[in-house]
Structure 1
Amino acid sequence: MFIAVYEFEVKEGMEAAFRESWLDFTKAIYQHCGSFGSRLHQSEVPNVFVGYAQWPSREQWEKDHVVTDELYKISRQKMHDCLLNSKTAYKLEVCDDYLQSSQAQA
């Protein structure tokens, strides 16, 4: 499994619009590009967010995805309009995995 970690610096006052467009864009990537989805995290800095996206492989992530879906195009543009800066902070291969979807029973 391949993980891409992104850092987004959002224009002041655009945080809600960014989060909404990020979600729509992420849904479109999931539906059309073969990702496993993503999570968005608020950092300690109010306008800095970190996204964590899972892919079946680096090759799938790097693939030139030609997406003609209107929601994809619109949400991508709206998301980018909210940004001061963005970058792919890390490109990671999973080597060990014990992430669970529920808490252990005590």
Structure 2
Amino acid sequence: MKNPNPPEFIVLYRWKIKPGMEDQFIEGWSQGTALFREMGSLGSRLHRGSDELWYGYAQWPSAEARSDAFGRPLNSPWFAMMHEAIEMSLPEIILEPISDFLVLPIAVN
């Protein structure tokens, strides 16, 4: 079944992570995602590719919602944790949702 309310704004991030700093990067990404969810983000996914790059996928209800969240002062160490672990960062890619058939698991409390 097609998602009736797909996110309007999606960003794909790509990095090469310094060897041995993967756990620190994951923790920083996780903390950042939690903070941005409080600011209106629709969540994210983090992937390690077979090409040795890491891929982050973040969803927002709109470009404005992301801009507002990124414009706020961030008083959390997550940003420094991530950036310390990054060996190389590639330009972000803005994705336009065309067709969304992603099935999300139901959260169990």
Question: Shorter-chain TM-score: which interval?
Answer: 0.7 to 0.9
What's 2:73 paired with?
67
What's 2:103 paired with?
100
Provide the C-alpha distance between the structure 2 equivalents of 1:60 and 1:88, rounded to a whole number of angstroms.
Answer: 20
Provide the C-alpha distance between the structure 1 equivalents of 2:90 and 2:64, rounded to a whole number of angstroms.
Answer: 19
Q: Structure 2 unaligned segments of length 5 or more: list them.
A: 1-7
Identity of aligned residues (%): 34
Normalising by structure 1, we get a TM-score of: 0.79
Q: Structure 1 unaligned segments of length 5 or more: list them.
A: none
Normalising by structure 2, we get a TM-score of: 0.77
The residue correspondences of 1:1-106 to structure 2 (distance < 5 A) are: 1-32=8-39, 34-46=40-52, 48-63=53-68, 64-68=70-74, 70=75, 73-102=76-105
Q: Which runs of 4+ in 1 moved over 4 A?
A: none
Provide the C-alpha distance between the structure 2 equivalents of 1:29 and 1:18, rounded to a whole number of angstroms.
Answer: 16
C-alpha RMSD of matched pairs (Å) = 1.7
- Please tell me whether the aligned partners of residues 38 and 52 of structure 1 are also in contact (alpha carbons under 8 angstroms): yes
Shift of 1:79: 0.8
